[in-house]
Structure 1
């Protein structure tokens, strides 16, 4: 049984049912039932047209469920009867399904869960394991999300930017349990890029590929974090880097710059440097200037301060950091880094300790604590 084939067909089959008149929640349940049936039947009797088989099976499941529910009889009269068996329609509504799952009325966490379920084809248990929450909790979250979008018309225009933010949220979750969410986000973004010709979709795909190329070097054997400057660049995935750069260059040639293209350009400059010392920090600052212009993001300004500290010296970096809100995530850690580079080890050690207390996870806390201990050991008694 080719599980990847089933998962790749899931969004198109679901979209066809919704287009025919099924509400989202009922359609999604029917598709899941059809997938279970496929797992049972296909090994012994594989279909010639897997997508058509799933569409027919899911539509029958939907009609059976509708007929069995007397409270929905009026809606049953409104939907079309079962179409004759045959090849699945050529029209692909997958893009609309992306938009539906990233509907602005959903919270980010609900949009992510619904996207992984409906577009990604993951089970509720897999999604729950990935997000380290009980399966019942995730089931409730997905059910609420499906109810929220149940009445949304499938012909309404969608917001590409919202879809991309949802996919980026998935990517940033990385890996947990038996589901590699970073790889899943790349797969879904590839799928989206095949469905829509948009430079920011390409920009996000390039950004993901370039970040994913460094994944194996971000942690040491003991699980501790390895900063970018200390990573073994010979272990970076050159194939992913080359693909990411190629996708990015094609997007930039469209001359419709967006935030994901700018972020990908920064990642490409890091990937292009054979050593940390060869990093083109001047160009990186210029790209952060573009990113700030596009987004006015405090996080972009924070990262820009780091880049300025590398390009123009730590005092310039501290000057760029000064006007920013000190409650920003990683602000204290950035200040510690810049003070260390400026030679103020006492202040840097204090700030590293403070940053460790604010760290969002144990790995980052341990890393910052080690930084503080290292500087304290260097200070004279």
Structure 2
């Protein structure tokens, strides 16, 4: 999956702004869309063929030349609107659904067409090296003997399914095309767990930084960012669960009871992913509380030091201020004012005052130490 610097808010704004005022079903190719690459897997119980087709005509020739086999048509890249129109025409795709494919910001969903064809959307996720969640859209169309997939990137998380088709024995080769759609959906769900594991490790790392007593404003920004990523991840997983639940409610002639057994397993995976997401969201909230508590404790330590310093200097300031008053010992008539600081003219007045100040400071420090204020 391509790593992107587009934020969730920017992506939403871009999705909403695409085709504003355009007729429904208008195909709009994103500016950064990659040139399409066409891959075809043709398989049955006896074997398989795969190829990267150089043109749409070659793809359709191979596809139509093997009607008895099942096919996975894998389209990677959207950068050719005429190619997308040919897919619509040849496979009977609804313009509104193709518009959703090219929009690339659809939530996970499933739609049943009048001809029994299913349209499924999933979100593939990855926790990038930039410590952010990146997601791409996977769009699937199912037919009587094919699965047609669209995605905007050349790299994905579906290599496991490709290897299963290449293997000597695979249930994908033995079962109808809907099983391939299930396998692709299941792999997407399975890749939620490495994403969540990476998120969990990152949360633990942030917690250790706080407990080591080295938090800073940058750390708070990282915590808030991972909180946003978890909320975003939940918005990806929750529709996935609803999509699978809707598949399980479909009539047996669309999704057989045999296939519903497999989709129930997907449903369980989606529930587990949601539970982990909720757990991580609570962990991040606790992390914010821990950060704020640590900051409060650090502030309390600073205030304690400042209070002790102030407590030491307050009596000293009082004594020094007292002797800084300009009450003269001698009056203008040449007489003596006996109550006006007689010690000002004492030969040992200054050292005695310093000794008194030292005794006050020492007494305060001893008192603070016995109270535990200097050690706790």
Instruction: Give the TM-score taking structure 2 as reference length.
Output: 0.27
**Structure richer in helix, relative to its length:** 1
**RCO higher in structure (CA 8 A, sep ≥6):** 2
Instruction: Give the TM-score taking structure 1 as reference length.
Output: 0.27
**Structure richer in strand, relative to its length:** 2
